[in-house]
């Protein structure tokens, strides 16, 4: 697959099931994705991989502060893929590299990982939500006070066999300007 084909054919898949990559394959793909541009080589990121009962415990942490009626829904949310990669931003303070640039690095890595997974026949979706800063979730992931949870990359293989509809076309005329000053 060419890089351009990979870029255009990757889609976010909301319903994912087995198979997901094993730890060794996932690590190789993360290593590839970690080659994303990183101003100052600050490495302002880390990832926490959850499978099996790790996902169930995350679901319990997500459900912890919710009304009883909502809990089953929260528990189920963490089980929407066989593999969850928790995305943790670790901003480096006191650097000349501003926070937004550091955020750009971690976002590039996550996107690169989604592309690398796609190239290996898997699918993914980056999910966020209102529970990223919940103390129960942060506590379960053992985040340091300065660390920020940016969501999870849900990883697996599309379970419904359905390809998502065509991606809406972006009108490049409204997005790209060419100024030829020659």
Report the relative pairing of strands 148-158 and 16-17 from DSSP bridges: antiparallel
Q: Is 103 in the site for ligand FMN (CB under 6 A)?
A: no
Interface map 2-41 toward ligand FMN (x if CB under 6 A): ---------xx-x---------------------------
Give min distance, CB of 122 to ligand FMN, in A.
14
From residue 27, give the alpha-carbon distance in Å to each of 1, 48, 76, 104.
21, 11, 26, 21
Give min distance, CB of 20 to ligand FMN, in A.
18
Give min distance, CB of 167 to ligand FMN, in A.
5
Q: Is 133 in the site for ligand FMN (CB under 6 A)?
A: no
| The only residue of 15, 60, 127, 157 in contact with ligand FMN, by rule CB under 6 A | 127
Q: CB under 6 A: which stretch of 31-39, 122-130, 154-162, 171-179 binds ligand FMN?
A: 122-130
Q: Is 129 in the site for ligand FMN (CB under 6 A)?
A: yes
CB 16 within 8 A of CB 155: yes
From residue 57, give the alpha-carbon distance in Å to each of 43, 61, 71, 99.
28, 6, 13, 31
Q: How many CB atoms lie within 10 A of CB 53?
A: 8
- State the number of CA atoms in the 13 A half-sphere of 88 facing the CB: 18
Give min distance, CB of 129 to ligand FMN, in A.
5
**Chain contacts with ligand FMN (rule: CB under 6 A):** 11-12, 14, 125-129, 151, 164, 167
């Amino acid at each position: 697959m060419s890089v351009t084909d990979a870029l255009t054919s990757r889609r976010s898949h909301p319903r994912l099931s087995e198979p997901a990559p094993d730890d060794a394959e996932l690590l190789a793909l993360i290593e590839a994705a970690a080659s994303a541009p990183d101003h100052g080589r600050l490495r302002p990121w880390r990832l926490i991989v959850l499978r099996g009962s790790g996902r169930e415990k995350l679901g319990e942490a997500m459900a912890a502060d919710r009304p009883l009626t909502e809990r089953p829904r929260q528990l189920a949310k963490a089980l929407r893929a066989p593999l969850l990669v928790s995305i943790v931003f670790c901003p480096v303070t006191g650097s000349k590299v501003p926070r937004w640039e550091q955020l750009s690095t971690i976002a590039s890595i996550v996107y690169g990982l989604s592309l690398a997974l796609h190239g290996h026949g898997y699918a993914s979706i980056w999910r966020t939500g209102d529970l990223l800063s919940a103390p129960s979730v942060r506590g379960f992931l053992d985040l340091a006070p300065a660390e920020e949870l940016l969501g999870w990359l849900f990883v697996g293989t599309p379970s419904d066999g359905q390809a998502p509809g065509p991606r809406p076309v972006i009108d490049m005329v409204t997005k790209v300007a060419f100024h030829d000053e020659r």
